[in-house]
Amino acid sequence: MPSHSFSHSASASASASASASAPSLAIAEKRTTGALPFAPPLVGDSAVMQALRAQIGRIARCAAPVAIRGESGSGKELVARAIHAQGARAACPFIAVNCGAIPEALMEAEFFGCRPGAYTGAAHERQGLFQAAHGGSLLLDEVDDLPLSMQVKLLRVLQERRVRKLGGSRDEAVDVRILCASQQGLARGVAAGTFRQDLFYRLNVIELAVPALRERLADLGVLCEAILAPRQVAGLAPAVLAALGAYAFPGNVRELENVLERALAFADGGVISVDGLGLPGEGAGLAPVLPLRASAPGAERQLSLPGMQVHGEAAAMPLALYLRQAERDMIVLALAQARYHRARAARQLGISVRQLRYKMQKLTIQEPRP
């Protein structure tokens, strides 16, 4: 079956239990029903995120398997949840399982269920992940961690749409949309001989790439706003966005959330400063982005979130005004670095040339006269 690649680098929850109606590894399973809003990792106005959200909407309308590829912390599971929430199966279960979290000896029972006495300690009948996800979607996270022996069994289920419980004698029909996720993509496992090619063709019908945070630095401001919105934050020092924009974030949005959470714990009066970020020292994981210009030598402006006041020498400014100024600064610096070559500046910012032109007009940014 041909693979269609979308690579624009671009509910209520119930816990699993050890009862007959749920899989036994609660840590490896999450169940969701109902519509889901876009969580912080999926917000942003950059070209790659607009393309990703458009692709999610199109993919949600079909029932084909989807292979989601992206770095750790980039939001692969949230992409899978969004596909499920926007599709025809939204009212049915969404089950997410990390394939690397299940001991190999228990994999068959976890995926397909088991009968009493199927193995030592199996005192009760249990349903598997496929039965729990019946009618909905099953996300196989880190699917390339599955051993070859389990890949064969998974392939059979995908071909026949039926499962047999461990220790059972009859097959059960299952109706599940399969979503899978990996960091490097399944093709690499096929080339290395660790992933079956026939299973690859079953799972990789549609490939969707989730961009890394360093590919969407233009979203930093709105990401920080979304992450900090539910927290008790008085403000951000203006150099914070510059410092964040200069860091490569190998852990992507998850690392950004952790950095802001840590910084908030050390914030003086609820104002997050550069020192509180705890980023690696200069030269360690830094991206080639210049710092934002200060409003005055030695001065440090502060951002006041809506409804809150910041006390100090520098005057507070509304969040929208601060983000507008920060966005303007980043665009001016990107243009300067690119010597006002708009295509290069747009690539650095993670937006299209058309968006860059619009933002330059909106923010009254003019190119210097020759």
Q: How confident is the model at residue 19 (pLDDT cuts 50, 70, 90)?
A: very low
Distances in whole angstroms, Cα of residue 332 to Cα of each of 167, 235, 276, 340, 348:
66, 24, 27, 9, 12
* Tokens, residue 283: 């030269």
Residue of 278, 251, 256 lying closest to 267 (CA atoms): 278
Average pLDDT value for residue range 98-113: 90
Contact status, residue 142 vs residue 99, Cβ threshold 8 Å: yes
Average pLDDT value for residue range 136-152: 96
Contact status, residue 258 vs residue 251, Cβ threshold 8 Å: yes
| Chain centroid to CA 14 | 21
* Tokens, residue 8: 């624009």
Angle between helices 76-85 and 47-60 (to 10 degrees): 40
> Does residue 158 register a pLDDT over 60?
yes
The pLDDT value recorded for residue 268 is: 77
Please indicate whether residue 53 or residue 230 has the higher confidence score (pLDDT).
Answer: 53
The pLDDT value recorded for residue 230 is: 84
What's the whole-model pTM score? Answer: 0.68
Distances in whole angstroms, Cα of residue 134 to Cα of each of 109, 127, 138, 140, 370:
16, 11, 9, 15, 65
Q: Could you report how far apart the first and last alpha carbons of the chain are, in Å?
A: 55
Residue of 153, 148, 160 lying closest to 197 (CA atoms): 148
Distances in whole angstroms, Cα of residue 206 to Cα of each of 63, 67, 143, 186, 217:
10, 6, 15, 12, 27
Domains and CATH numbers, the chain: 4-211 (3.40.50.300), 214-362 (no CATH)
Per-residue pLDDT tens for 164-179?
988 778 899 999 999 9
